[in-house]
Structure 1
């Protein structure tokens, strides 16, 4: 009854009623847009476009589906529109003076990838996905998963997220995309195969320690100690043999302990001193990195996100310092 009353008021032009109706879905819709677009900023833009479109089109909501499903339909189509028309943020050149990076293993294709603050995940990924979901909610927000999604064609991407992550029924997805159940099932089959090539199941890899557990805390503490003290040997000892390092929007990517060690040697051997401030991104441990003279202001240089397996680090992703405010981190730290 309360929802029906709010809907009536909203259709009559009551903006407060509309906000009350839609606010419970803001976070999960933003996460949905983030999975589709791979960019925190683009996801926020898509969410605002979704809410504006829903406000303008509320008279056409015929309640054949739930309000949540209707909003997901709008959000998905806003993201598809963005994927068709957007000029993605371009890759940037190496920008750390005084450090010459080693030859990369390859060049990354997802230069627009951005991290998603864990502080915004509360109430967004703990929504029960239903029995048909193929992926754990925390797994489906990880950087590796979101990166792999970006390689899929837009409609396959939308179908896979709606079916395998959010567990909407095929008929619901067909309605959202103005398609047929047969077309949805065909797109899902191709999307699963495409994702498998980019993100194979880590059957032989140990699962990461639980978030906030003593085991996770132990790895994190060792990483911080090694990085802040520029102890390359201690840092390399934490890495898996096949460790992967990337740094969007710089496209350089490194695979394997030796080449990642060579990269870290250049950074840690440059004479810079670093302080790491803990946070969390994409369900993973993360750190704001600050550098400067020990007696002066330390400026933010970037954000590290770690991917863990067992008691080791299997991936490190570095983002530009511009993302620090999204995590409530300052752009600089005061003098000690």
Structure 2
């Protein structure tokens, strides 16, 4: 590596994690965000002569990342929306300095990421740059090759869509972030894992709100259901087999949210293998939203494959 390349890498690598979070908000897919972050840094190196220092290096990299994500989305027809291709974001890969990288809990939560994903690509970029990154309209317009009036109009439309898509109890996605789980959230996760390990259907049902929003990916769609209907559905669908399943669980966090990694021991196996992850949104001591992800063959989640 030449001296110039080494210096450039030293300057840009410090922004990799926050750029990856930005790409994730644009794409809602962790692996795509990794790829587009690398593409961003490659583009930056190829265009290094164009960096004049009029804006900060960080701003310049965000401009490149945003347009790289837009190029990626424009190649996909139709652009995935909702839960299509959604992947969780491992907290271990979040920037170490949340203040610097503008990582707020409300804007990495799954409900927020899914709501943003319903926006058309350029409108999505406007919304993220303006309302998440806090860029002024002129700066966003220059980045996207739009007029200030177009950016303002796109932002107004985007805000309406995001508010319509967010669960009704969350109307403000820009509230101050608390980056540590509350004791209430930790307690619900412990109870959820205990109910699984004891195959306790009543205990599991008691943890769920009667207006539970539930999704099990990659199966498409989110349903709102009662606690008992949800548990009965998991049993009838083979996701939960009381008296037969042997579960072990581990607490974790994904997307700045409490989560439980569920390990299942198959008959004849000596170890519990990572099977799925349940990401939980806790409201008043009960689970209001539960999103399950297939965790097999996902080493980037940073979880042990077996217990």
Moved more, 214-223 or 308-317: 214-223
* Residue 62 of structure 1: aligned partner: 52
Give the CA deviation at 1:235: 0.8
* Residue 154 of structure 1: aligned partner: 121
* Residue 232 of structure 2: aligned partner: 262
Q: Aligned match of 2:198 in 229, 251, 256?
A: 229
* Residue 37 of structure 2: aligned partner: 47
Q: Aligned match of 1:307 in 275, 281, 289?
A: 281
Give the CA deviation at 1:275: 1.0
* Residue 238 of structure 1: aligned partner: 207
Tell me: CA distance 1:323–1:72, structure 2 relative to 1, closer, same or farther (3 Å). Answer: farther
For residues 196 and 56 of structure 1, the distance between their equivalents in structure 2, rounded to whole angstroms, comes to: 39
Give the CA deviation at 1:110: 2.0
Tell me: CA distance 1:323–1:287, structure 2 relative to 1, closer, same or farther (3 Å). Answer: farther
* Residue 74 of structure 1: aligned partner: 64
* Residue 97 of structure 1: aligned partner: none
Moved more, 318-327 or 161-170: 318-327
For residues 155 and 51 of structure 2, the distance between their equivalents in structure 1, rounded to whole angstroms, comes to: 27
For residues 243 and 323 of structure 1, the distance between their equivalents in structure 2, rounded to whole angstroms, comes to: 28
What TM-score do you get using the length of structure 2 for normalisation?
0.89
The answer as to whether partners of 1:302 and 1:323 remain within 8 angstroms in 2 is: no
Give the CA deviation at 1:173: 0.4
* Residue 75 of structure 2: aligned partner: 85
Tell me: CA distance 1:324–1:303, structure 2 relative to 1, closer, same or farther (3 Å). Answer: farther
Mapping of 1:178-257 within 5 angstroms? 178-202=145-169, 211-257=180-226
Quote the RMSD (CA, aligned, Å). 2.7
The answer as to whether partners of 1:38 and 1:150 remain within 8 angstroms in 2 is: yes
Tell me: CA distance 1:40–1:70, structure 2 relative to 1, closer, same or farther (3 Å). Answer: same
Tell me: CA distance 1:209–1:306, structure 2 relative to 1, closer, same or farther (3 Å). Answer: farther
For residues 84 and 332 of structure 1, the distance between their equivalents in structure 2, rounded to whole angstroms, comes to: 39
Give the CA deviation at 1:204: 9.4
User: Unpaired segments of 5 or more residues in structure 2?
Assistant: none
Q: Aligned match of 1:290 in 263, 277, 285?
A: 263
Give the CA deviation at 1:332: 2.4
| More relative contact order, 1 or 2 (CA 8 Å, 6+ apart) | 1
* Residue 304 of structure 2: aligned partner: 330
Determine whether 1:26 maps to 2:16: yes
The answer as to whether partners of 1:302 and 1:324 remain within 8 angstroms in 2 is: no
Give the CA deviation at 1:24: 1.9
Give the CA deviation at 1:327: 2.7
For residues 168 and 236 of structure 1, the distance between their equivalents in structure 2, rounded to whole angstroms, comes to: 44
Give deviations 1:124-167, integer Å, cap 9, x for gaps: 633275xxxxxx81100000000111110001100000000110
The answer as to whether partners of 1:303 and 1:323 remain within 8 angstroms in 2 is: no
The answer as to whether partners of 2:189 and 2:260 remain within 8 angstroms in 1 is: no
The answer as to whether partners of 1:307 and 1:313 remain within 8 angstroms in 2 is: yes
User: Unpaired segments of 5 or more residues in structure 1?
Assistant: 1-9, 91-107, 130-135
Tell me: CA distance 1:110–1:216, structure 2 relative to 1, closer, same or farther (3 Å). Answer: closer
Tell me: CA distance 1:163–1:216, structure 2 relative to 1, closer, same or farther (3 Å). Answer: same
